[in-house]
Structure 1
Amino acid sequence: MRIGELAQRAGVSTRSLRYYEQNGLISARRRANGYREYDEDDVKLVSEIRSLLTHGFTLDDARPFVECLRAGHTSGGDCADSVEVYRRKLEEIDSEIRTLLARRAELAAQLCAGCAFTRGES
């Protein structure tokens, strides 16, 4: 299939596909006329990349998942390197949650102090 069909089937722009190709995540075969040619496996790869990006992963994070699919696994998360990326991402999210909870507690304390001040309870 050509780039436009892959873009439509995977729900991405042709520009995104060229960007993924430029970053080595997908590779197009070239027809004699120079057109890019893709197959069904590329639909799965692009869908995996798109899903990961939607969930906050980077293109570099996506590499082990793409390699896992290229190795013949049914899911990009079936390989040890992909599992490691999942673990690292969960640690990052947990850290962000802790940071947000600390900021929330700080703001709540400031709010309480502000409310006490406006009631004259300094």
Structure 2
Amino acid sequence: MPIGERKHRILVVEDEAMISMLLEDMVLDCGAEIVGPVAKFDDALALAREGEFAVAVLDLNLNGILSYPIADVIRQRGIPVIFATGYGAHGLRDSFQDCPTLQKPFSQKDFAQAVASVCAP
């Protein structure tokens, strides 16, 4: 399912290898280009500051470290953030309740809809 005419670059931050591989497939299936995937907090923070991407999909919990500081940097750049988490939308801090959330496990359709919702013209 294409998400638009131009190829979007999607930053993927996920510390579980199997989920990371699934997300990579989902990004490609949407006709987008993957940035990463990144598993480590510090690497993700560096990409958040300087990487070129249109949207970010962040695992909320990276080996016990919450990814909110990464999300803050990305949102300050005006780039939308989608959280992927087993906690669901109710597990997010109030300041991030406006971010789309993918409840793990999620489908290709759920992923494509979340990306399309933040990449809409």
TM > 0.5 fold call: no
TM-score by length of 2: 0.30
> For the pair shown, which has the larger CA radius of gyration, 1 or 2?
1
Structure with bigger strand share is 2
Relative contact order: is structure 1 or structure 2 higher (C-alpha 8 Å, sep ≥ 6)?
2
TM-score by length of 1: 0.30
